[in-house]
Amino acid sequence: MRVRVELTPDPGAPRARDWAGVAIDVLRATTTLTFARLHGARRVIPAVTIDEARALRRREPDALLCGERDGRRIEGFDLGNSPAEYRQERVEGRTLVFASTNGSVALRALAGCRPCWLGAFVSATALVEALCGRPRVRLVCAGKLGGFALEDAALAGWLALRLEERGARLEGSAARFVRPLAPRDAGEVRALVQGAEHGRYLRGLGPEYAADVEVCAGLDTLDRAFEA
């Protein structure tokens, strides 16, 4: 198995269909979408811009329009980017047009990968199990506005380390960089996510956002991983 890591999405990267992809936006898109899929959402269509999301919704009028800017739900959208919003009674059987600030860009960058998984600490071990046996894996961190995000790199490091323990070969400088960032246990995961720049920002928006950060900081609270 070969494992590559991208610290930020590269939408111009070749669409290598023989690679499995993992999009990582711990705070909060890929965690939120993990819960959406757990609760029965049928399909996720990533949109990079608000206008694109609205155009996609016009083509699929039964879809839910979902997303955020600056952490807050976009005006006129059905759902934002909080795991708590994606309850079974709201999303089961529905298509989600999803336009988050960073996570949607990572998902779009992996458009050529089959399958494309949702990377989150809440399902990290289950994701490792799902990836085992795949010959090629790309871990793409969403980052923040094109820059580095510690919580995403830390999850990439956690996944890379666990895959390496199962015989994977880490390729490239980014994979070697994230490996030592891997938290050692659930307590370190929680401290890292809570203390990361974006974690502190979201917590400052109010108690509902602080509750989201707490959810996103849980290690292996789910025993299933999900494709986007």
* Cβ proximity of 50 and 99 under 8 Å: yes
Q: What does the pLDDT read at residue 178?
A: 98
* Mean pLDDT taken over the chain: 96
Read off the pLDDT of residues 114-131 as tens digits, 9 standing for 90 and up. Answer: 899 999 999 999 999 999
Read off the pLDDT of residues 180-227 as tens digits, 9 standing for 90 and up. Answer: 999 999 999 999 999 999 999 999 999 999 999 999 999 999 999 999
0.85 exceeded by pTM: yes
d(CA 113, CA 222): 24
* Cβ proximity of 122 and 220 under 8 Å: yes
Q: What does the pLDDT read at residue 40?
A: 98
Beta-strand pair 136-141/2-6: parallel
Domains of the chain are: 2-216 (3.90.1560.10)
d(CA 74, CA 50): 8
